[in-house]
Amino acid sequence: MSKVAILSDTTMTIPQEFAQQYDIYTIPLYVVFNEQPYKDVEEITYEQFFERLKAGEMATTSQAAPGEFVEKYEFLKSQGYDEIIVTVISAKMSGTYQAAIAAIDFVEGITVHVVDTELTTIFGGLAVMEMAKLLNNGAGSSEAIQVFTKIVRERAVDARITVDSLTHLQRGGRLSRVSATVGELLQIKPILTISDGEMKVLTKMRTFKKAVMTIAEEAAQTNPTVMYIFHTGDEKLIAQLRQAVEQLMPDVPCEQCYLSPTVGAHIGPTGIGLAWLSDYKK
C-alpha cells in the first residue's frame, strides 16, 4: 500500500497536533511588511503579525515559488512517501496552485496530486482533516481526493466571516474604494464566505453584534458536527461569537484558531469567523 503524505500551505490553519498525527506537512506563503518578506507562521507568529496590523502597518502577500515545492517534494520522497496530495489555497485567490503543479516536472520517483481546494483558512483545513482521517483508515489517494471534492462541492464544510472595519478588504481589492467608504460611514458589517473559489459578500449588517448572531444562526441551520472560531486575536470579538454559538448550539464541539497571516493581510485585525463541518456521510 502506498505511503501518502498531505502537503498543505499555511493558509489552511490545520491544528499542529493533528498535522503531526496524520502526516500533514506545510509549505509557507509569505507576508510582507515594508518590502521585508516573512514566511507565514514560520518567521512571524500570529500574535506578532496582528499586533503590527493593529498598530497601523499594512501587509501584502506573496505565494510560494515552484522551487520551494520541489524542495518539499524531494524531502517527502526522502522520508519514504510514495505519493503526495497537495492542498493549497484556491487557484482563484493565489498562484500557489500553479506553482505546485509546475514543480511536478522537476521531481521523479514520487506521485504528486495537486488539488484545487477552492478554499482557504480552517474552512479548507476542516476538509483536509477529513481526507487525512480517510487515508489513516486505509483509503487510497483517489478515494480520499474524491471524498474531499464531495465535501467541498456539497458545502459539507462552510464558513462565514465578518469584519469590524472594511479598510483591508478594500485595500486588498475585495471591495471598491467607494463601497468601503460608504460602508465605514454607515457602520456596515459585511458577512463573507468563499464560494466557487472566491471570497464573496453574502449580506451586510448594520451592527457587528447582528452580524455575529447571523453567522451563528446560519451555522445552526446546517446541524454541524464540529465548529472552529477563527480569529485575529481580539478576545472581545471571540467572546461575542462564542456566546452566540453556545446559545444556539451548546452541544456542538467548538474549537478556535488564528486566521493565518496571509489571509489576515486581506481581512485586517478586526475579523472574526466561524467554520463548520456537517455530516457528509449520510
pLDDT of residue 180: 43
Overall fold of domain 157-277: Hypothetical Protein Tm841; Chain: A;domain 3 (3.30.1180)
Residue 39 CA to residue 32 CA, distance in Å, equals 9
**Res. 33 pLDDT band, cuts 50 70 90:** very high
**Ramachandran region of residue 80, left (φ > 0), alpha (ψ -120 to 50) or beta?**
left
pLDDT digits (tens, 9 = 90+) for 87-104: 999 999 899 999 999 999
Helices (H) and strands (E) in the chain, counts: 11, 13
Pseudo-torsion of CA 1, 112, 259, 59, nearest 10°?
A: 160
Overall fold of domain 4-29+64-153: Rossmann fold (3.40.50)
pLDDT, average across residues 194-204: 87
For residue 176, pLDDT over 80 is answered with: no
pLDDT of residue 74: 98
For residue 75, pLDDT over 60 is answered with: yes
On the CB side of 91, how many CA atoms lie within 13 Å of its CA? 10
pLDDT of residue 183: 45
User: Whose grid coordinates read 468563499?
Assistant: 194
**What is the DSSP pairing of strand 111-116 with strand 83-88?**
parallel
pLDDT of residue 167: 60
pLDDT of residue 165: 61
**Res. 178 pLDDT band, cuts 50 70 90:** very low
pLDDT of residue 174: 46
Q: Per-domain residue ranges for the chain?
A: 4-29+64-153, 157-277
- pTM of the predicted structure, to 2 decimals: 0.92
More confident residue, 52 or 175: 52
Residue whose C-alpha is closest to residue 269's, from 189, 182, 185, 163: 163
Residue whose C-alpha is closest to residue 205's, from 232, 220, 186, 229: 186
pLDDT of residue 185: 38
Residue 22 CA to residue 136 CA, distance in Å, equals 7
For residue 179, pLDDT over 80 is answered with: no
Residue 127 CA to residue 118 CA, distance in Å, equals 11
pLDDT digits (tens, 9 = 90+) for 235-254: 999 999 999 999 999 999 99
Q: Determine the 3-state secondary structure of 6 from DSSP.
A: strand
Give a three-class secondary structure readout of 125-183: HHHHHHHHHHHHCCCCHHHHHHHHHHHHHCCCEEEEEEECCCHHHHHCCCCCHHHHHHH
Beta bridge pairs of residue 7 = 25, 86
Residue 8 CA to residue 87 CA, distance in Å, equals 5
Helical axes 66-78 vs 96-103, angle rounded to 10°: 50
pLDDT digits (tens, 9 = 90+) for 118-166: 999 999 999 999 999 999 999 999 999 999 999 999 999 999 999 876 5
Confirm if 158 and 268 have CB atoms less than 8 A apart: no
Residue whose C-alpha is closest to residue 211's, from 236, 182, 240, 183: 240
For residue 31, pLDDT over 90 is answered with: yes
pLDDT, average across residues 161-179: 58
User: Can you list the alpha helix ranges (DSSP code H) found in the chain?
Assistant: 16-21, 46-54, 66-78, 96-103, 121-136, 141-153, 167-171, 177-186, 208-220, 235-248, 261-267
pLDDT digits (tens, 9 = 90+) for 260-276: 999 898 888 889 999 99
More confident residue, 178 or 213: 213
pLDDT, average across residues 220-230: 97
